[in-house]
A and B are shown apart, each in its own frame.
Chain A
Amino acid sequence: MSKRYAMAIDMKRCVGCSACVIACKEENGLALAAFRSWVEIETRGTYPALALEIHSERCEQCSDAACVSNCPTGASYYARGGVVLVQRELCTGCKACVAACPYEARYIHHDGYADKCTFCLHRVEKGLLPACASACPTQSITFGDLNDPSSDLVKLLRSRQWKQLRADAGTKPNLYYLT
């Protein structure tokens, strides 16, 4: 069976430290102003009845990705494991994908092409974890194959409650936030 890569991100463990963000920037040699991942901390309630929701966010690697269907040149495509990639040579930097993405996961690289999280497929192909999952000091990020029932990922999704961000956008995201 083919692979379907996904991530479960444990909001109970995550402290929002941004180690994932910096690891991503270093691994992928991103410019200082460029981000493929980021952390959102949402406050709910009023003092003193408060709650936080901490999201380590990145491209959701949607199974029905608006960026792919809206790409006029075919630069955005589904690669191995369903990971959405951008073929740089085909990208004209038209920003249709940037506008289409409900998660604001894309930006235009200074060389003119659309860029975003690749799930570190270059690492995954070598049997390594994506840089963020490998770096996370709280081990909040579990990467794996949804089609492998023995994976830690599937076990977590079976045993824990989770939610998805902006599921209403209908793009079938593949990040699961454990609550």
Chain B
Amino acid sequence: MAFTRRDFIRIGAMAGGVAAASGLTTDWWSLQARTIPDPKTDGDHVVPTFCELCFWKCGVLAHVKNGRVTKITGNPAHPLSKGRLCPRGEAATALLYDPDRLKTPLIRRAKRGQQVFEAVTWAVALDETAKRMDAIRTKYGPEAFALFTHGWGGSWFTRLMQAYGSPNVAAPSYAQCRGPREAGFTLTFGQGLGSPESIDIENARCITLIGSHLGENMHNTQVQELATAIGRGAELVVVDPRFSIAASKAKYWLPIRPGTDIALLLAWMNVIITEKRYDADYVAKYAEGFDQLAKHVESKTPEWAYPITGIEPQLIRDSARLIASARPASLIHPGRHVTWYGDDTQRLRSIAILSALLGSWGRRGGYILPSAMELPKYPGRKPQQPARAVADRREPSLYPLADETLASGVCDATIPGKAPYQLKGWMVYGTNLMQALPAPQQTEKAIQELDFLVAIDVLPAEITGWSDIVLPESTYLERYDDVWAPAYKEPFIAMRQPAVEPMYDSKPGWWIARELAARLGLHDYFDWQHPLDVVRWRVEAAGQSLAKLRATGVVQGARVPVSEEEGLALSFDTPSKKIELFSSTLASAGFDPLPDYSPHPQPPDGMFRLLMGRAPTHTFGRMANNRLAGAVYPENELWLNTLVAKSLDVKNGDRVTLENQDGVKSLPVRAKVTERIRGDCVYMVHGWGHTANGMKFARHRGASDSELVSRYATDPVMGGTGMNVNFVRVLKAEA
């Protein structure tokens, strides 16, 4: 009966002319004609390039069909993606086709007492930008103009600043992110870790994460290697006030009291040294200051650390023994976003010292020493040395071990009296400073002091609303950029090239920078017609074929030894030419030569420490407007411990607002009531709570952590801004 009826309908459907003529197959149950649905999203051609949704820069394949990008997949030939992408990279189509994109140049005008943006042509916008940059150059000197930049396309604007004569080029990725790590490792081993970090996760037998939530932060290659290591039986130790995804995979989870990591690290060293579990041969051969270190940590027992950290002595001992048992393939992960409490360089020093005790620097499964493929710089005209030094600190003696410009300091230098000279103009490329810098209240104050602010971006984020001129840039899928050749264990050169023509009236960064240079009388510094001229010169100077690079998106170089096991001889670019467990550099600069624990203020009754992190679908604030990623993770949530929530009468999914110690209030955010977090802190994913009208999807979704970071603790060693020092009250939002 059923069969007859089915057959009847099928014929009816065919009579309607619906049945597809192609792709018919026959199944062996009913011998009935069936079609396998094919969504036909394969491209008619595929363009290899590299991603810009975060800073990892994975190789991707953009599938293009009828002039539209249908999907993005990983480039199997690219060492950083190995054919696999994170959800953000896959969702790049939703950035390219975001209806909220900046579509045309905009100029702020005063009209009938109101400020409005007026859409103008590129000629008008560029003329006006150049005129205002020229005015600053004439009146205050070129040093008074600063560039904030983030992302690979920023290289063209860095070049423009060099030609223009300003030393004030800063990226929030240093003092607001990985700076303390670079300083801590450079002090100890003579070099930093760069990006991608020179660590060998896949060969580690034990991986220790301290506040790093790898797997939620999707540094693609690192997550791939973490899974490989887990598949090979590696053990995890995870130190986190939150039961992260990584913690759920760990042998030991240490739910530490926030702000006490250094105490735990010292106690681990105490166990490893007193139980003689360290690599004595390695330490004797390569390190100096061991006796001072041993004496320093002698009293830092697990029992000492227990009341500080809240971690029971037995758990400290057991985890220390596991960590030591896997050495040298025992990786204490250095983290990336490490600006937490203002003593971050010392915490990263502790991680570096512990790694030295394990003998894991320069060893397989630990810290490795990769090199980059040779890629000569494009010759071009050499810029002159700027007349004045960077204005990122009040006195040159401050933050003596910073080796990059402090974006927070450059922002401060815009407020009178905060720097040797005042900044009067900003160019902001690819970074929403209102969320990338701490204390947006202070950033707003600085902006009010400016003669001129120009933003170059893809989306109308908050910073564009503060700008005098907004220049719409093409996304990475619509533009060429310079080639990239980072130090990596599988060295490579990667190509950024467009998959489709720029949408709307957007323009690639290289074109914008070059046009501005021409208008500023700096065309000599851009003596090429097209970025491919630069790329071709560099690639051919490297002995590679541009045609091959364009076809595959990546060329790989020969692997060189990256560890002692592979025959690499270790050397250390420190003053003593050894690993400095005891840092004479720190001692002579007036800092602790060995890391010490000092207590941080804890939240008062009724308040909680605000912690922030990442969701795998979201890295930067701009991602919050990505409708495809937003389909999976539509808004951030406030993680709140179950018992605490009960005491506050907050139920899972309730809307709450946060008020910090300075009276700053957040937008409403949903409470995620969970056992997975300690009761003395709350947690949210960074980059939400947008207020910009033009971010139509992201606007008023969730709450902004940045806004609540009205205070920060500055790292005296390198100027990092520790942001985990804000306390919030949780208030039920009015319905």
The answer to whether A and B interact is yes
Query: Are B13 and A90 in contact, CB atoms less than 8 angstroms apart?
Result: yes
The interface residues of chain A lying within 8 Å CB-to-CB of B90 are 19, 22-23, 26, 135
Cross-interface CB contact of A22 among B3, B25, B32, B91, cutoff 8 Å: B91
Query: Are A134 and B243 in contact, CB atoms less than 8 angstroms apart?
Result: no
Q: Which residues of B are interface residues toward A (Cβ below 8 A)? A: 2-3, 5-6, 9-10, 13, 16, 18-19, 25, 27-30, 32, 34-41, 70-74, 83-87, 90-91, 93, 215-216, 218, 220, 223-224, 226-228, 230-231, 243, 245-249, 253, 255, 616-617, 627-629, 631-633, 641-642, 674-678
Query: Are A137 and B249 in contact, CB atoms less than 8 angstroms apart?
Result: no
Residue of A nearest to B254 (CB): A48
Interface-lining segment among A72-80, A99-107, A147-155, A164-172: A72-80
A171 shortest CB reach to chain B, Å: 17
How many Å lie between the Cα of A16 and that of B220 in the bound state?
13
Contacts known (A26-B71, A47-B642); A139 close to B41, Cβ less than 8 A: no
Query: Are A50 and B243 in contact, CB atoms less than 8 angstroms apart?
Result: yes
Cross-interface CB contact of B70 among A26, A121, A134, cutoff 8 Å: A26
How many Å lie between the Cα of A67 and that of B197 in the bound state?
49
Cross-interface CB contact of B224 among A28, A52, A138, cutoff 8 Å: A138
Query: Are A85 and B218 in contact, CB atoms less than 8 angstroms apart?
Result: no
Query: Are A139 and B227 in contact, CB atoms less than 8 angstroms apart?
Result: yes
Q: Is A40 an interface residue (CB 8 A)?
A: no
How many Å lie between the Cα of A47 and that of B646 in the bound state?
15
How many Å lie between the Cα of A86 and that of B27 in the bound state?
13
12 A-B Cβ contacts within 8 A?
A13-B231, A16-B616, A22-B91, A22-B632, A26-B71, A52-B248, A73-B9, A74-B2, A79-B27, A80-B27, A80-B36, A135-B90
The interface residues of chain A lying within 8 Å CB-to-CB of B6 are 73-74, 90
Cross-interface CB contact of A80 among B25, B74, B85, cutoff 8 Å: B25
The interface residues of chain A lying within 8 Å CB-to-CB of B73 are 23, 134-135
Q: Which 8 A-B pairs have the closest CB atoms?
A: A74-B6, A15-B215, A138-B227, A17-B616, A52-B248, A122-B38, A26-B71, A89-B13
How many Å lie between the Cα of A16 and that of B213 in the bound state?
13
The interface residues of chain A lying within 8 Å CB-to-CB of B629 are 22
Query: Are A50 and B231 in contact, CB atoms less than 8 angstroms apart?
Result: no
The interface residues of chain A lying within 8 Å CB-to-CB of B248 are 50-52, 54
Cross-interface CB contact of A137 among B30, B85, B216, B677, cutoff 8 Å: B85
Query: Are A48 and B253 in contact, CB atoms less than 8 angstroms apart?
Result: yes
How many Å lie between the Cα of A59 and that of B36 in the bound state?
16
Most chain B CB inside 10 Å of its own CB: which residue of A19, A29, A90: A19
How many Å lie between the Cα of A15 and that of B230 in the bound state?
11
B672 shortest CB reach to chain A, Å: 11
Q: Which residues of A are interface residues toward B (Cβ below 8 A)? A: 2, 10, 12-13, 15-19, 21-23, 25-29, 32-33, 35, 39, 41, 43, 45-48, 50-52, 54, 73-74, 77-80, 85-90, 118, 121-122, 125, 134-140
Query: Are A43 and B675 in contact, CB atoms less than 8 angstroms apart?
Result: yes
How many Å lie between the Cα of A17 and that of B39 in the bound state?
24
Query: Are B36 and A125 in contact, CB atoms less than 8 angstroms apart?
Result: yes
Query: Are A137 and B231 in contact, CB atoms less than 8 angstroms apart?
Result: no
Residue of B nearest to A73 (CB): B9
Residue of A nearest to B222 (CB): A137
Cross-interface CB contact of B675 among A32, A50, A137, cutoff 8 Å: A50
How many Å lie between the Cα of A151 and that of B243 in the bound state?
36
Query: Are A17 and B86 in contact, CB atoms less than 8 angstroms apart?
Result: yes
The interface residues of chain A lying within 8 Å CB-to-CB of B86 are 17, 19, 137
A140 shortest CB reach to chain B, Å: 7
Cross-interface CB contact of A15 among B72, B83, B216, B642, cutoff 8 Å: B216
Contacts beyond the supplied A19-B90, A26-B90: 14 A-B pairs with Cβ under 8 Å: A2-B28, A17-B87, A19-B84, A19-B87, A19-B218, A22-B629, A32-B631, A47-B676, A52-B243, A88-B37, A90-B9, A135-B85, A138-B226, A139-B231
The interface residues of chain A lying within 8 Å CB-to-CB of B675 are 43, 45-47, 50
